[in-house]
Amino acid sequence: MSDILEQLTACIEFGKISKASPYPPAMKGQDGADEICNLALKQGVAPEDILNKALIPGMHRIGEKFSLGKAFVPEMLISAKAMTAAMKHLKPFFTSGMIKRKGVFVVGTVMGDLHDIGKNIVSMTIEGAGWEVVDLGVDVKAAKFMDAIEKYPDCVVGLSALLTTTMANMELIVKEIKGKYPGKVILVGGAPLSMDFCKSIGADFYSPNPQGAVDFLNRLAA
């Protein structure tokens, strides 16, 4: 069983989506995350073991590489796609309650900002760490975040911004959320941000990379 889980971990780490996918060249023609996850379930591997012993470690490995500058955005995106290919086989087990999520993470790029690559990488990395992700998209106004919080009262909120001009909108959204839900945990991220800015607007955490956000969320869930 450990062999098949390690194979699946490697598919996630190196971005091997399926047998048909040509990337990475060293794994061309081999089964990918799609086939191996399906095979593991057929062989009786517990869905939670697939998540906790293969998918989460795989995303953690690529996340660590990204944090250290040993992997870049394209590698993160392809790993996230491999993770998504495996996760589709696990979705029914989440729906049935057989696999428990660690929590709900509501995320969106703030109003006035249409950039989504950073948000998408963070979303997929956090989903790969065992969280349910509710992605509100881009150009998200405060009201949409508030609606999501009402629907998922125990959620953690993530705000993304890539433009310095939309950092002011991030501050407004944080103030509106904290005004109604003072205890709500809010993470912020984006190229122009810093921990000092995070603190100055009343948010709770900032990380320059997805793995930092995952580590923070996992501490919350512990």
Summarised one tens digit per residue, pLDDT across range 62-78 is 989 988 999 998 999 89
Share of the chain above pLDDT 90, in %: 78
**Which domains, ranges and CATH numbers included, belong to the chain?**
2-96 (1.10.1240.10), 104-221 (3.40.50.280)
The β-bridge partners of 178 are: none
Distance, in Å, from the CA atom of 131 to the CA atom of 123, rounded to the nearest integer, reads 9
> In the predicted model, is pLDDT for residue 1 greater than 70?
no
Summarised one tens digit per residue, pLDDT across range 83-107 is 999 999 998 988 888 888 899 999 9
The mean per-residue pLDDT over the stretch 177-182 comes to 97
Summarised one tens digit per residue, pLDDT across range 113-128 is 999 988 988 998 898 8
The mean per-residue pLDDT over the stretch 181-194 comes to 95
Q: What pTM value is reported for the model?
A: 0.84
pLDDT at 208: 87
Q: In this structure, what token pair is assigned to residue 16? A: 């091997």
The mean pLDDT of the chain is 94
Name the more confident of 211 and 184.
184
> In the predicted model, is pLDDT for residue 46 greater than 70?
yes
- Give residue 19's pLDDT band: very low, low, confident or very high (50, 70, 90): very high
